[in-house]
Structure 1
Amino acid sequence: RWAGHGWRGRGPGSGGGALEGLRGVIWAFFSRPLTDEVGAPGIVVGVSVDGKEVWSEGLGYADVENRVPCKPETVMRIASISKSLTMVALAKLWEAGKLDLDIPVQHYVPEFPEKEYEGEKVSVTTRLLISHLSGIRHYEKDIKKVKEEKAYKALKMMKETVAFEQEKEGKSNEKNDFTKFKTEQENEAKSRNSKPGKKKNDFEQGELYLREKFENSIESLRLFKNDPLFFKPGSQFLYSTFGYTLLAAIVERASGYKYLDYMQKIFQDLDMLTTVQEENEPVIYNRARFYVYNKKKRLVNTPYVDNSYKWAGGGFLSTVGDLLKFGNAMLYGYQVGLFKNSNENLLPGYLKPETMVMMWTPVPNTEMSWDKEGKYAMAWGVVEKKQTYGSCRKQRHYASHTGGAVGASSVLLVLPEELDTETINNKVPPRGIIVSIICNMQSVGLNSTALKIALEFDKDRSD
C-alpha cells in the first residue's frame, strides 16, 4: 500500500527511492541469508503522513512452520504499547471528573494496602503510577539488586557528564572530586570482598511466563500488593508493569465498567477494530505465532503464557494499521488547539489539547530507556526539541512507546510537524509522521529504526 504525498511510484518493488532504501534497511535488520531456524521470522511496518496511511507492509513469516507470510493485517502482541492505550482510559475519566490523579489509590481500590517506606507512611497516587514513580516493583523481586543497578547507572551517568564537561573545558587530565569519590567507592567494595548482584533481565523472570488465568484486575493485585515499595513514591523512576495492573483496577472503579469492556468502547471510538486482549481460546484471524532463539541460537516457538494479569500494561494484540489510527488520534488532539483560530469547523479531538500536552510533557526524575535523550511522561516516552549549536545536530520533538513481550517486540512513534501560527494556514490536523512496527521476536530494539523511518519520510515530504 503506497499512496499520496508525492511518493507515488516509489513503493515496494518499484526500485529506488526513500521507501525502497528503508525497506532494505528493515529487511537487513531482521533477516539473515541462512535457514529459517537461525533467521528472524517476521515484521510488519506501517507509516502514516498527516493522517493518511502511506506504507503498510509485512516482511518474513507470521507462521514459519506453515509458511504464512506477514502482511499488513497480521495481528501481534504489542506488549507495553498497551500502557499508552490504558492512559487514554485514565485521561477520559480525568476529563470527565471521575478520576483524581493525585489522591491515594486506596480511594478507588481499598484492596491495595496502604504503604510505608523505611518506616514512614507514604501515598501511592494514580499520577505516580502512570509515570513509574510509585516505587512498586517490576518483575525483579530482589530490592538489593534493583538498588545496586540504579546506583551503578547513576554513577555511570555522573562519570559521563563530568567527562563531557571536562572535555569542553580542556581539563580531561585533571583528577576531580567525582574520580576521587568513585575510587573510594571501588576500594570500599574491594575491602568487603563483595560484588554487586546481577539483576536478571525481564525475560529471565518467572512472572513473565505466568500461565494462570486471572478473572479481573483486583484478583491480579495479589501478585504484588503485599510486596514492599522499592523506593519512596516520587523519588525515583522504576519501570513497573504491575503498576499498570493497579491502574486497570482504578479504571474499573472510577468508570463502573470492567476494564476490558471500557477499553473495547475506546477501541470502537478510535476505529481500532482489530485490537483485542490476548486470549488463547478465541479464534483471532491473522494472529501470528511468536518465536525466540534458544541457547543454541536456533529459532523455537515460545512457551504458552497467559497475560490476563497485565492487560493494561502489556496484554493487547493489534495491527500496525490500528496503531497508526491510535497515533493519529493522539496527534490530532495534541495539535487541534493550534488550528482552532484558523478553522472553526474542526471537530474536537478524542482527548482535549491540554490533556495531550500534559501526557506528552516529560516528568522529572524519570527515564526513557529506549532513547537516553528523552524522559518518560504519562505512558509515553518523550524527546524534546533541542539544538545546542548552530548548523549542527538538531534533536526533533517526538513521542513513542516500545514494547517487549514473550516472542514479540513493538514500537509506536509519533513525530509531530513543527508548527507555528504562520505555517498552519490551509492545513488541518493531524500533521506529522506516525510509524508503527511489530515483530514476532522478543528482545528487538525498534525505536531507533522507527525514528529513522519517520525522519526520512519527513525529509522526503519537505524536499
Structure 2
Amino acid sequence: MKAEVNMKAFEEAGNELTEKYMIPGTSIAIAQDGEAVYHKGFGFRDVEEALPITPDTVFGIASITKSFSCVAIMQLQEAGKLGVHDPVIKYLPEFKIKDEEALNKITIHHFMTHSSGLPPMSSLMYAMKRSMDNDPSVPNYPGLEIDQDGHGPIDTYGELMQYIANQEFELLGTPGTQFSYSNDAYALLGAIVEQVSGQSYEQYVYDHILAPCGMENSFFTIGEYGDYDNITTCYAEDASDGTKRIISAPIWWDAPSMRAAGFLKSTAKDLLKYAEIFRNAGIVNGNRILSAESVKEMTKPHIQVQPGRYYGYGLMITPDYFGTKLVEHGGALKAISSQLSILPEKGVTGVVLTNLAGVPAARLMQLALNAYEGREVGASHISFKEYEISQVLLEQYQGEYQSNEGMKVALEFREGKPVLSSQNSDIPISFVDERTFVAHVNDSIEIAEILVDESGQPYGISYHFRQFPKAGSKQPV
C-alpha cells in the first residue's frame, strides 16, 4: 500500500512537470526483479486524435542506443573477434586524424568511454541532413546553431571518416585522459561491428540483442514497423509568434552513418526487457546476451564525467545513489527525451520515454524512483554548499563558449551573480569551488567545470558532458 500511495504522489508531481514543459506524451515504467510493476502514460501519443500511451507505444530512444552498441562490441570480444583495448585503426584503417602518433593510441575502449580526445564536431547534423532538409520544423529544434549548407550529407561510415580526417583540430588530451561526449566515436563503433561481424550494424543488433531479448517492437527506422500503429507522433516547440506552443512535427530524423550513436526506436515494455541484461548479469528470458564479466565491465566507472558520476561502456555510473549503484543513460534528439535507469543491487529498472525534445525525462525518472523506493518525491541524492567565488575569477571565466556540434553557452555575471546563458534562456548557477559550478536546468541539476591550462587560464567549460572551448581560446577545435 505504501508504494501505491507514493506512486500517487509521483503522479501528482509528474503531472505538474509534464504540464510545465508542455510534454504531449510520456511513458513511464518500472520493473522489480524483471517483472513489470508500474506503468503510467501522461498525455497522448497523438494529441489531435487523443490516442493513449501504453507500454507498447513506440518512441525514439536517441542515445540510449549507445549501450546497445557497447553490448554488440562486448559480444564480439567474447567471440574472440576483437579486443576493446585494440587500436581502432586495426579494424578501421580509413580512420585518420592529423596527429598520427595519437591516432595509433586510440582504442575501442576510448571510443566506448568518450575518452579518445575527439572534440565535438558538426558531423551528426550533416549525417541527418537528408531528413532535416525535408523537415520544416528544423528551426524549432532547441540550441541548434549549425550552418546546414556548410557540408553535404554524410551518408556512410567512409564519408564520416573522411569528414573527420579533413577537420583541423587538436585532441582534447592524450587518449584516455579527457572525457567529452562523442557521437562520432559511437557512430564508428557501428562501423567496427560491421567490419568484424560481416553483418550490417542494424542487422547485428536485431539478431544478437533485440531478438534474443524478445524486443518485438524495436527497430531503427519507422518504415520497419509496417502496419503497427501504436507509434507516437513527433512534436516540437514553436515560439515563432512570441507565444510558446507545441506543434506536430511528424518527420523522424535519421542518419544511416550514425545509427549506432542514437537512432533506435523502442517501447517501455521492450526497454525493461533490455534492462535485464544489466540487472540480471547478462541473462534475459533465459537467454545469455552477455557474460557476467562483460556486464561488469560495461557498468564499471571507467572515467569521471562529473564529481561522483562516471562513464562505463555506453552507460553512466553513479556509485552512490542514495546508498546504491545507479546505472543509466539518457537520450535527446528531435521529438525525443528519454531515460533508462537500473539499480542492479535493488533489482529495480525503469524507463521514461517522451515525444518532445529538451524536457526533463531524467528528472521524471528520479521522481518515479523516489516514490517507488519510499522517499520524498522531490528528494535529491546530491547536495552542495555554495562557494563565494572572487570577482577576479568571475571576470576571467566570463565569455562565450561554443562547441562545433552547434551548442553555445555564455558565462557572465550580473549584479555580482554568475549566470549561464544557453538556448536563449538564463540559467542560475552556483559555484561550489573555484572551478566547479552547479546549473539548475529544467528542474534538474547539471554539474559543470571551468577548464584551465597549466598557467591557470580558462580555455573551456565541461558542460552537458561536452568540452566547450572558450571563444578566442588558444585551444583549437
TM-score with structure 2 setting the length: 0.66
The Cα shift of 1:445 comes to 2.4
> Alignment partner of 1:261: what SS?
helix
> Alignment partner of 1:138: what SS?
coil
Which consecutive residues of structure 1, in runs of 5 or more, have no partner in the other structure?
1-5, 11-16, 33-37, 142-199, 337-345, 387-393, 419-431
- Hey, what does 1:367 align to over in structure 2? 305
1:350 aligns with 2:289: yes
The one-letter amino acid of 1:123's match is K
1:97 aligns with 2:80: yes
> Alignment partner of 2:308: what SS?
coil
The Cα shift of 1:272 comes to 0.9
Residues 291, 123 of structure 1: alpha-carbon distance in 2 compared, 3 angstrom cutoff: same
- Hey, what does 1:301 align to over in structure 2? 248
Moved over 6 A (4+): 207-211
- Hey, what does 1:453 align to over in structure 2? 368
1:289 aligns with 2:233: yes
Which stretch shifts more, 249-258 or 18-27? 18-27
Distance 1:302 1:241 in 2: 24
The one-letter amino acid of 1:18's match is N
> Alignment partner of 1:236: what SS?
coil
Q: Indicate conservation of the 8 Å contact 1:101/1:126, yes or no.
A: yes
1:27 aligns with 2:33: no
Distance 2:189 2:153 in 1: 20
The Cα shift of 1:395 comes to 3.5
Q: Indicate conservation of the 8 Å contact 2:6/2:374, yes or no.
A: no
Q: Indicate conservation of the 8 Å contact 1:333/1:348, yes or no.
A: no
> Alignment partner of 2:281: what SS?
helix
1:132 aligns with 2:114: yes
Q: How does 1:39-438 map to 2 (within 5 A)?
A: 39-113=22-96, 115-116=98-99, 122-139=104-121, 203-205=144-146, 214=155, 216-227=156-167, 228-232=169-173, 233-265=175-207, 266-279=209-222, 283=226, 284-295=228-239, 296=242, 297-302=244-249, 304=251, 305-333=253-281, 349-364=288-303, 366-367=304-305, 373-385=308-320, 394-417=322-345, 432-438=347-353
User: Aligned residue pairs: how many?
Assistant: 350
Percent identity (aligned):
27
The Cα shift of 1:55 comes to 1.2
> Alignment partner of 1:333: what SS?
coil
Residues 281, 256 of structure 1: alpha-carbon distance in 2 compared, 3 angstrom cutoff: closer
Which consecutive residues of structure 2, in runs of 5 or more, have no partner in the other structure?
124-140, 376-477
The Cα shift of 1:385 comes to 2.9
> Alignment partner of 2:324: what SS?
coil
Residues 75-99 of structure 1: CA deviation (Å, up to 9, x unaligned): 1110000001111101100111111
Q: From the CA coordinates, give the structure whose radius of gyration is larger.
A: 1
Residues 9-36 of structure 1: CA deviation (Å, up to 9, x unaligned): x4xxxxxx1222112221111015xxxx
The Cα shift of 1:60 comes to 0.6
Q: Indicate conservation of the 8 Å contact 2:183/2:258, yes or no.
A: yes
Distance 2:212 2:185 in 1: 26
The Cα shift of 1:68 comes to 2.2
Residues 203, 290 of structure 1: alpha-carbon distance in 2 compared, 3 angstrom cutoff: farther
Residues 299, 244 of structure 1: alpha-carbon distance in 2 compared, 3 angstrom cutoff: same
Q: Indicate conservation of the 8 Å contact 1:106/1:114, yes or no.
A: no
> Alignment partner of 2:301: what SS?
coil
TM-score with structure 1 setting the length: 0.68
The Cα shift of 1:311 comes to 0.8
Report 1 or 2 for greater relative contact order, CA contacts < 8 Å, sequence distance ≥ 6: 1
Q: Which has the higher helix share?
A: 1
Which stretch shifts more, 74-83 or 122-131? 122-131
Residues 249, 335 of structure 1: alpha-carbon distance in 2 compared, 3 angstrom cutoff: closer
The Cα shift of 1:286 comes to 1.6
Distance 2:224 2:287 in 1: 38
The one-letter amino acid of 2:6's match is A
Q: Which has the higher strand share?
A: 2
CA RMSD after TM alignment: 3.1
Residues 7, 451 of structure 1: alpha-carbon distance in 2 compared, 3 angstrom cutoff: same
Q: Indicate conservation of the 8 Å contact 1:209/1:306, yes or no.
A: no
The one-letter amino acid of 1:457's match is Y
